[in-house]
Amino acid sequence: MNYLCTKCGRRTPVSDRSPKCACGGLWELEFTPPAFSLDAIDKNEWSIFRYRRFMALADDSWREVSLGEGMTPVIPLDENVLLKMDYFMPTLSYKDRGAAVLMSHCRSLGVDRVVQDSSGNAGNSVAAYAGRAGIACEIFVPEGTSPKKIAMIRAHGAKCTVVPGSRDHCAQVCREKVEREGIFYASHVYSPFFYEGTKTYLYEVYEQLGRIPRHLVIPVGNGTLFLGVIKALAHLKASGLLSSMPQIIAVQSEACDPLLRGAAAGLDAPAPVTPGPTMAEGIAIGEPMRGTQILALAKGYGVRFVHAPEDKILAAREALARKGVYCEHTTAANYAAYLHYCECFGPAEDCLITMCGAGLKSDH
């Protein structure tokens, strides 16, 4: 299997360990899955790897790496809203979908050391799966990251380095280390293998409901869930299983919204922003590396970007918790954004919202 550069189109085998193409472009996978069909799901495998016929996997390394991630329930919240309980995961966030595939790839290459930068949840996931795969790991997190996320990274045996400054600066420090020392960059943003995992979010919904709901609320910082969901939607469509595309409602923080602004201004690239403080720390990405790709797809699929109003996040968290759903603040932001969307565009019937990070992870 090959990587394909998103900028210059160069091909290189996926055994190539460089984080990106020499021209600076990020990798895509040159991989077209076979037509999706419920019959091709391995119903005896109780993890995301039940969809492995549609995933770009070189071998069976995943068998030693999987922690049983995925298979999360869909439950009704009210007559319009379904919640996908994606914090029912080994490390309590949806990032396990991507980390399970990325670390399986590392294991199949024989990688013995990885680094990564994260606002916390992806770092938790990569640290856990690196521990499981026997791979040494260092995670860079920005100052202000929840102490619980840091404790969890360290508990998995990874080194956790807290970097003063913004999330974007933290990524820069980590990437400099990758360049200087040639360590494998297990990035949920750079590696296209991560998206092979996040695709399963939508495959699961389709298997569970036998359809795709009319509205999908997806948080977007770097867009790892967004890109996986779009890939999977395109796949289901190409397989003749979707008569129409759902309305994707893409959530950005009011304090950090380069994609929302970019889309509103009709730009090809994210708008320059200075990130402010927000409770939705998980989506506060000022410079999303795949921003151009996200904006192009958003245009093609008629995605609507919407803010999570900062002053509504706590109330949204409380409302969910009162109904038994204890999610983290970044995830409560998805519900706050849904309510805001209904105010702006009218009722969003048949709407699926992801509950993708657990409440125990965030302090406020």
Ligand X SMILES: Cc1ncc(COP(=O)(O)O)c(C=O)c1O
Tell me how far, at minimum, the Cβ of 117 lies from ligand X, in Å.
11
223 binds ligand X (CB under 6 A): yes
Q: Is the dihedral of CA 273, 280, 334, 293 positive or negative?
A: positive
Beta carbons of 86 and 108 less than 8 angstroms apart: no
Q: Which does 247 bind (CB under 5 to 8 A by kind): ligand X, Zn ion, none?
A: none
Nearest to 67 by CA among 183, 186, 159, 156: 156
224 binds ligand X (CB under 6 A): yes
Region binding ligand X by CB under 6 A among candidate stretches 104-112, 162-170, 200-208, 218-226 = 218-226
Bridge partners, 3 (sequence order): 12, 29
Q: Which does 19 bind (CB under 5 to 8 A by kind): Zn ion, ligand X, none?
A: none
Of 8 and 264, which has the nearer Cβ to Zn ion? 8
Q: 72, 116, 119, 145: which one contacts ligand X (CB under 6 A)?
A: 119
Of 72 and 224, which has the nearer Cβ to ligand X? 224
Tell me how far, at minimum, the Cβ of 110 lies from ligand X, in Å.
27
197 binds ligand X (CB under 6 A): no
Q: Which does 278 bind (CB under 5 to 8 A by kind): Zn ion, ligand X, none?
A: none
C-alpha 183, offset from chain centre: 23
Nearest to 138 by CA among 150, 147, 148: 150
Binding site for Zn ion (CB under 5 A): 5, 7-8, 10, 21, 23, 25
Q: Which does 224 bind (CB under 5 to 8 A by kind): Zn ion, ligand X, none?
A: ligand X
Considering only residues 84 through 103, tell me which ones interact with ligand X, judged by CB under 6 A.
Answer: 93
Tell me how far, at minimum, the Cβ of 152 lies from ligand X, in Å.
13
Phi–psi pair at 216, nearest 5 degrees = -125, 120
Tell me how far, at minimum, the Cβ of 11 lies from ligand X, in Å.
26
Q: 221, 246, 291, 359: which one contacts ligand X (CB under 6 A)?
A: 221
Q: How far apart are CA 149 and CA 220, in angstroms?
A: 20
Q: 219, 262, 270, 291: which one contacts ligand X (CB under 6 A)?
A: 219
142 binds ligand X (CB under 6 A): no
282 binds ligand X (CB under 6 A): yes
Of 10 and 214, which has the nearer Cβ to Zn ion? 10
Tell me how far, at minimum, the Cβ of 29 lies from ligand X, in Å.
17
Tell me how far, at minimum, the Cβ of 16 lies from Zn ion, in Å.
12
Q: Which does 5 bind (CB under 5 to 8 A by kind): ligand X, Zn ion, none?
A: Zn ion
Of 2 and 293, which has the nearer Cβ to ligand X? 293
Of 109 and 314, which has the nearer Cβ to ligand X? 314
Region binding ligand X by CB under 6 A among candidate stretches 42-50, 73-81, 156-164, 215-223 = 215-223
Q: How far apart are CA 29 and CA 195, in angstroms?
A: 10
Q: Which does 285 bind (CB under 5 to 8 A by kind): ligand X, Zn ion, none?
A: ligand X
Tell me how far, at minimum, the Cβ of 206 lies from ligand X, in Å.
21
Q: How far apart are CA 176 and CA 69, in angstroms?
A: 31
Q: Which residues form the interface with ligand X (CB under 6 A)?
A: 93, 119, 121-122, 219-226, 282-283, 285, 328, 330-331, 356-357
